[in-house]
A = this chain, B = another copy of it.
């Protein structure tokens, strides 16, 4: 069967509806048994020999033409190979029996390329398994666009990495109440020489220097000083000044996220060994009975644009240490949270 291309839409004639749409979920039915196909759908039919040509082009000529995006085609073909039917986002199925509207919001955000139906379902069903966004390895991804869709990142060898992005609820049961404590600012830390036991032992602030002394990081100290718990010569401003001197704006962003995590009942500790800002514990009662930290948190400004390679690095590392990778995106006083995890569709 041959098809024609016009204004970015491929049209295949009579019998196409029965052969392509009804039995295998390609395209969108139009009058007279014809279907309209997106270029990626037509390319896939060409690659399988189900279509012979589009405007005289065979598969290779069509893929080499400007009619179809190669990266979108690779993702489309990969998801078909995995047993899914999928449709370009924003397609309005004209089948009068279909009243599906559930992917309208994601489509309107302009950040979704495909609606992927659950295995065994298709465009005639009212269900979407994944909203997928196609991203080339060299394309930046603005932090604010994560949270709704699955990223299908096509690397330079056209291998595809799927990353699921969600907006998690950040909640824990750790208590951070501590009696008043005094400290001495010492370079990039604050030393508390005979602190109340709760400081370290139940609220898990700081690290031991020796049996009677605890050192706090600058971000811990700034949080405690601002809460009125910690007293330091020069007050909280002196700690903030030191933090800004050694970290610049990043210090205020990290302090905001630190405070947000503590307020939600999590204990943040340094994530340095994992290349992150924090690792977090959701249910600390005592440092003697500390569980596994559940999250790695990276703090980012609202205008951050991810390089997909950096995303792949963070997510891979978190997966390897059985933690969830969480990005804390700071916009003024607001923090929004995005979890990113590998997905095998």
Chain A interface residues (CB < 8 Å from chain B): 47, 60, 63-64, 69-71, 136-138, 153, 155-159, 161, 184, 186-189, 191, 193, 206-207, 210, 213, 215, 217-219, 246-247, 269-270, 272-276, 308-310, 312-314, 316-317, 320-321
What are the residues of chain B within 8 A of A155 when measuring CB–CB? 270, 272-273
Chain B residue at minimum C-beta to C-beta distance from A187: B70
The 8 closest A-B pairs by CB, nearest first: A275-B313, A155-B272, A320-B320, A156-B217, A317-B317, A157-B270, A70-B187, A275-B312
The binding surface of chain A is classed by DSSP as mixed
Whether A157 contacts B274 in the complex (CB less than 8 A), given A138-B188, A320-B317, comes out as: no
**Given the interface contacts A247-B138, A313-B313, does A270 sit within 8 Å of B156 by beta carbon?**
yes
With contacts A186-B70, A313-B313, A320-B317 taken as known, whether A161 is within 8 angstroms of B193 at the C-beta atoms is no
Of all chain B residues, the one with the shortest Cβ separation from A137 is: B272
Chain B residues near A189 (CB-CB < 8 A): 70, 156, 158
Are A312 and B273 in touch, CB under 8 angstroms?
yes
Query: Chain B: which residue is nearest A250 at the CB level?
Result: B138
In the bound complex, residues from chain B placing their C-beta under 8 Å from that of A320 are 317, 320-321
- Measured in the bound complex, the distance between the Cα atoms of B309 and A60 in whole Å is 45
Cβ B217 vs Cβ A316 within 8 A: no
In the complex, the answer to whether A157 meets B309 with C-beta atoms within 8 Å is no
Q: Do B272 and A312 touch (CB < 8 A)? A: yes
Cβ B161 vs Cβ A272 within 8 A? yes
- A313 contacts which chain B residues (CB < 8 A)? 274-276, 313-314, 317
Contacts of A247 in B (CB 8 A): 138
Please determine whether B47 and A157 come into contact, CB atoms closer than 8 angstroms: no
What is the distance, in angstroms, from A39's C-beta to the closest C-beta of chain B?
Answer: 14
Pick the contact of A310: B187, B217, B269, B275 (CB < 8 A): B275
Q: B60 contacts A191, CB within 8 Å?
A: yes
Question: Shortest CB–CB separation between residue A184 and chain B, in angstroms?
Answer: 6
Chain B residue nearest to A61 in the complex (CB): B184
Are B60 and A270 touching (Cβ within 8 A)? no
Alpha-carbon separation in the docked complex, A273 to B219 (Å): 33
Assembly CA distance A60 to B190 (angstroms): 12
CB-defined contacts of A218 to chain B, threshold 8 Å: 156
Residues B138 and A60 in contact, CB atoms below 8 Å apart: no
- Residue pair B60, A193 in contact (C-beta under 8 Å): yes
**In the complex, are the beta carbons of B156 and A219 less than 8 A apart?**
yes
Q: Which of A63, A158, A206, A215 has the most C-beta atoms of chain B within 10 angstroms of its own C-beta?
A: A158
Cα(A170)–Cα(B184), bound, Å: 49
Let me know if A138 and B312 touch, CB within 8 A. no
Residue of B nearest to A212 (CB): B60
User: A137-B272, A158-B215, A161-B272 are known contacts; what are 10 more A-B pairs with Cβ within 8 Å?
Assistant: A63-B191, A70-B187, A138-B246, A156-B217, A157-B215, A157-B270, A272-B309, A274-B316, A275-B313, A313-B313
A159 and B309 alpha carbons, distance in the complex (Å): 28
Q: How far is the CB of A143 from chain B (nearest CB, A)?
A: 17
Judging by beta carbons under 8 Å apart, are B71 and A187 in contact? yes
Given contacts A184-B64, A210-B47, A270-B156, contact A275 B215 (CB under 8 A): no
Contact A312 to B274, CB < 8 A, known contacts A70-B187, A70-B189, A138-B188? yes
| Complex Cα–Cα for A138 and B187 (A) | 12
